C-alpha cells in the first residue's frame, strides 16, 4: 500500500530561523507536489518536482526531490509570520494525488 | 480565483439526507478530481473523471457517486448522510494530455456539516 509520510506534523518556530519539512513516500513516482493550505481555505500549489535532483525555489521556500531515497524536502529560510500555514506534499501516480498528513507550521514573532 | 468553481461553499444538512456538490473545472481542463478532507482521515482521493468518463476510483463509499457532464462540469452526490461525512470536499481539475498531467488546480471547497 502506498504511503506518503510527512514529518514533523507540527512545527512551531521563531521568525528568522530555518527549518526543513520531510516527505517520504513508499512507491516510485515521477512527480512530487507541495501545497500550502491556510485554515479553511483551498490548496495553493507551491512546487512541482519532476525528476531526481530537482530543486525549486520561490522566495523563502525551497523544495527538492531525491527519487532514489524516495524523499522530498521543503526548506524554509529565515521564516516570517506570513508563512504560517499547513504544508502538504503529494505523490502523483495512477491518475491521482496521494497526500501526506500535512505539517502545521506556526511561526512566532 | 483559481478558475475552479465549487458550489455551494457551505452546506448543513441532517443525517439520512442526500446532497449534491457541483464543480466547474478551469477552462480547457478535461479532468476533474474529487477529494475529501477530514480531521481524522486527512486528504483522501475519491474519484476522477476525464472528458465524461470515470478514470480512477479511490476510497469512495457506495453511498457516494459522481458524474461529469458534456460541458465538463461535475457533480458529487452524497446520500444517506452520516455524521462522519462532515468534511471539506474539494474539486480539482487538470489538463491531462497524452504527454502527461500539467498540474492540478483546486477549487475553494464545499464544507459539508451533517447534524
pLDDT at A29: 76
CA distances from A57 to A47, A54, A64, B11, B74 (A): 8, 10, 9, 38, 34
Please choose, from the candidates A69, A2, A76, A67, the residue with its C-alpha nearest in 3D space to the C-alpha of residue A31. Answer: A67
**Is any Cβ of chain B less than 8 angstroms from the Cβ of A92?**
yes
Cβ-defined contact of A95 to B90 (cutoff 8 Å): no
Rg (alpha carbons) of chain B, rounded to whole number: 14
Grid cell, residue A80, equals 516570517
CA angle B27, B32, B36 (to 5 degrees): 130
Q: What is the pLDDT of residues A41-94, one digit of tens each?
A: 999 999 999 877 889 999 999 999 998 999 999 999 999 999 999 999 999 887
Query: Which of A35, A96, A102 lies nearest to residue B58, judging by beta carbons?
Result: A96
Query: Which of A40, A96, A101 lies nearest to residue B33, judging by beta carbons?
Result: A96
pLDDT at B99: 58
pLDDT at B102: 64
Q: What is the mean pLDDT of chain B?
A: 93
Cβ-defined contact of A42 to B58 (cutoff 8 Å): no
| CA–CA separation, A80 and A34 (whole Å) | 19
pLDDT at A109: 86
pLDDT at A12: 94
Q: What is the pLDDT of residues B9-50, one digit of tens each?
A: 999 999 999 999 999 999 989 999 999 999 888 999 999 999
Query: Which of B56, B88, B107 lies nearest to residue A94, judging by beta carbons?
Result: B56
Grid cell, residue B41, equals 482521515
Q: What is the pLDDT of residues A26-36, one digit of tens each?
A: 988 778 999 99
CA angle A62, A63, A68 (to 5 degrees): 145
* Residue in B closest to A45 by C-alpha: B105
Helix (H, G, I), strand (E, B) or coil at A81: helix
Say if residue A12 is preceded by a cis peptide, omega within 30 of 0.
no
CA distances from A12 to A4, A23, A41, A58, A82 (A): 22, 18, 21, 21, 13
Mutate to test the interface with B, among A6, A44, A95 (most CBs of B within 10 A): A95
pLDDT-derived band at B91 (thresholds 50, 70, 90) equals very high
| CA–CA separation, A71 and B115 (whole Å) | 41
Amino acid at each position: 500500500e502506498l504511503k506518503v509520510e510527512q514529518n514533523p506534523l507540527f512545527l512551531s518556530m521563531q521568525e528568522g530561523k530555518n527549518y526543513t519539512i520531510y516527505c517520504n513516500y513508499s512507491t516510485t513516482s515521477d512527480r512530487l507536489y507541495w501545497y500550502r493550505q491556510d485554515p479553511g481555505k483551498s490548496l495553493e500549489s507551491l512546487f512541482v518536482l519532476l525528476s531526481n535532483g530537482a530543486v525549486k525555489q520561490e522566495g523563502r521556500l525551497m523544495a527538492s526531490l531525491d527519487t532514489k531515497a524516495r524523499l522530498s524536502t521543503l526548506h524554509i529560510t529565515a521564516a516570517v509570520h506570513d508563512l504560517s500555514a499547513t504544508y502538504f506534499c503529494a505523490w502523483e501516480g495512477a491518475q491521482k494525488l496521494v497526500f501526506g498528513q500535512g505539517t502545521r507550521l506556526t511561526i512566532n514573532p | 480565483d483559481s478558475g475552479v468553481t465549487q458550489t455551494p461553499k457551505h452546506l448543513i444538512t441532517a443525517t439520512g439526507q442526500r446532497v449534491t456538490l457541483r464543480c466547474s473545472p478551469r477552462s480547457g481542463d478535461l479532468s476533474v478530481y474529487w477529494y475529501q478532507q477530514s480531521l481524522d482521515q486527512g486528504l483522501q482521493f475519491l474519484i476522477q473523471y476525464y472528458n465524461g468518463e470515470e478514470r480512477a476510483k479511490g476510497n469512495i463509499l457506495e453511498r457516494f457517486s459522481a458524474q461529469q457532464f458534456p460541458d465538463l462540469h461535475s457533480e458529487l452526490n452524497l446520500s444517506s448522510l452520516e455524521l462522519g461525512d462532515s468534511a471539506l470536499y474539494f474539486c480539482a481539475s487538470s489538463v491531462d494530455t497524452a504527454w502527461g498531467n500539467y498540474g492540478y488546480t483546486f477549487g475553494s471547497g464545499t464544507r459539508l456539516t451533517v447534524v
